[in-house]
Structure 1
Amino acid sequence: MSGFTQSTATSSQNYQGNKRKRVLEEDVALIACMVNLHNVGTFNADTGFKIDYLNELEIMLENFLPRAMLKARHNLESNIKTWKNDWAIVYDILKGKDNSGIGWDEHR
């Protein structure tokens, strides 16, 4: 995927101008924390997560990556929005109305 940089550098090294570079290690940790948060069930809602889940993710990520300094309202929200946009295309191809016969056969 484009836009990723694999690094264990501190947060100050992960910026290009005013925009923060996406770091694969941080994305992997964020996904693991989101799965954990979902499995615990405290922040689950019918359509995803409850309102305060970003703050809880920020706390969880501080334990995984203490030097990353990822903030709920800027970094995490932006990453999740990017993922939704990127993966919406894949979802539409597999499940969309006009998918031209492309689909997933779970038996093959």
Structure 2
Amino acid sequence: MAVDWIGYGYAALVAAGGVIGFLKAGSVTSLVAGLVFGLLAAAGAYLASQNPKNVWLSLGTTGTLTLVMGFRFLSSWKFMPAGLVTLASGLMLAKIVNEMLKRRSRKE
């Protein structure tokens, strides 16, 4: 079984972003959201590492962050932090969907 290093890296980025938001702006909301979503992303990476078909937690986490942070980015047009998280989440979402489609095409 291959370890989902990209998923773990993404989880670390999300969690670190929450911690940085707390340290720079004193935002407890950023800290809690970053740690919760980072933990969910890490759990999703772990599940995908155990079974490559088990991507649903990763898919839900990245999809939610893509939408929420995408709306924040569109309302503020500030790249940090909303744009960066939107970009990272969108790339992660594309990776997950691409892997799902590859598995589906190999089945047929």
- Tell me which protein shows more helix as a share of its residues: 2
Where relative contact order (Cα < 8 A, 6+ residues apart) is larger, the structure is 2
**Which is greater in Rg?**
1
TM-score by length of 2: 0.35
TM-score by length of 1: 0.35
